[in-house]
Amino acid sequence: MMDHDHYRLAVMADPHDSDDALRAHRESCAECREFTERLLRFESRLERALRVDVPQSANVLPFARRAAAAAPRRRQWMTLAASVVLALLVAGGVWLTLPQSSLAADVVAHMAGEPDAWRRTEVPVTDPALDVVLQDSKLRLKSGAGIVSYASSCDFRGHKVPHLVMQTPSGPVTVMVLVHEPVNKSMRFDEQGYHGTIVPVPGHGSIAVLMRDAESGSTDVERIAARVDDSIVWTR
């Protein structure tokens, strides 16, 4: 299955590529569909900005005509220069808005470094150990949140974030509280054997919840994400 990063690299090389795998990913992923639409709008604006008629210049102009032609030629070249500047500004604005790395892909990549966290167990981490992990993010969990079997304060995109594993009837679920990663809307993803969602938490960044594909149902992750969000008490 194609992931976000592979899709975006391919579509940025050719936004009009009709490859079946690209089309299938685009149809199944709202986030990448929106990305492609932004890219196509940018390409259209850039093409219009650069569509300037450059005047044909004669090799030799008589002296009398040269002075008369100078003013309109200056205007024409100024138009060309302005169009190029506009194109660069448009391009710069679009590239700044294109995500340099998918947040979902980074969350999944982080999982590879802590494979032991996925154990099924009924043994929770101690309350003091959990409090230490949560305190930097200014939150705590309600008493009925469920069994937290793993808790670590992890480096993620330049910040320390809580990485928890909660035991559920569907299996272990990883939760990452990303207070420095605000998102505008919920984002579902399926990457490298994981099924997950990243949900916005207004004023507190976002929460990433993911399960391994072999253990997740179609609605498990969304339901668990809602329960986790409801279980958090923010202390600031």
Nearest to residue 199, comparing CAs of 180, 178, 213, 216? 178
Same domain, 125 and 84: no
Q: Note the pLDDT of residue 98.
A: 45
Same domain, 81 and 152: no
Q: Note the pLDDT of residue 208.
A: 92
Q: Tell me which residue range forms the domain holding 75.
A: 4-97
Same domain, 76 and 113: no
Distance separating alpha carbons of residues 111 and 122, to the nearest angstrom: 21
Tally the domains of the chain. 2
**97, 116, 132 - which closes a domain:** 97
Neighbours of 124 (CB within 10 A): 16
Q: Note the pLDDT of residue 100.
A: 40
Divide the 236 residues of the chain into consecutive groups of 10 and give the mean pLDDT of each group: 73 80 81 78 71 54 52 54 48 44 81 72 87 86 84 88 87 89 87 85 90 64 85 85
129: CB partners within 8 A, 6+ apart: 151
Same domain, 69 and 20: yes
DSSP classification of residue 207: E
Same domain, 123 and 78: no
Same domain, 178 and 213: yes
**63, 97, 131 - which closes a domain:** 97
For residue 180, how many C-alpha atoms fall within 13 Å in the half-sphere facing its CB? 10
**97, 127, 160 - which closes a domain:** 97
Q: Note the pLDDT of residue 63.
A: 47
Q: Note the pLDDT of residue 198.
A: 92
- In degrees, rounded to 5, the angle at the alpha carbon of residue 84 between the alpha carbons of residues 81 and 85 is 85
